Amino acid sequence: MQQRLGRSISLVVNGEAVATCARTLSELVAEQGFAESAVATARNGDFVPRPARSEAELAPGDRIEIVAPRQGG
């Protein structure tokens, strides 16, 4: 595991460039304000289930999708 010691990395989150100090997808979800929300996540096009987010380490250039369910009709 690579330590970043407070250094930020550049990611693409929902199509927008983001700089983050998050090390895992779980930390990024919390940083983006979705910690308590029911969301679906993907890293580089691969679905990451909620229990696996804390193990999913981020790397510079990763493309992350965080999708909240929508209601309506």
CATH for 53: 3.10.20.30
pTM (whole model) above 0.95 = no
Report yes or no on 4 lying in a domain: no
Sequence-ordered list of residues with C-beta below 8 angstroms from that of 59, at least 6 positions apart, any chain = 9
Structural domain contains residue 73: no
> Is residue 27 one of the residues assigned to a domain?
yes
Residue 41 lies in a domain: yes
Number of domains in the chain: 1
Tell me: the pLDDT tens digits for 41-56? 999 999 999 999 999 9
Which parts of the chain fold into alpha helices (H)? 25-31
| CA–CA distance, 36 with 6 (Å, rounded to integer) | 24
Domain of residue 42: give its range: 9-67
Greater confidence (66 vs 7) lies with 66
Residue 69 has pLDDT above 90, yes or no: no
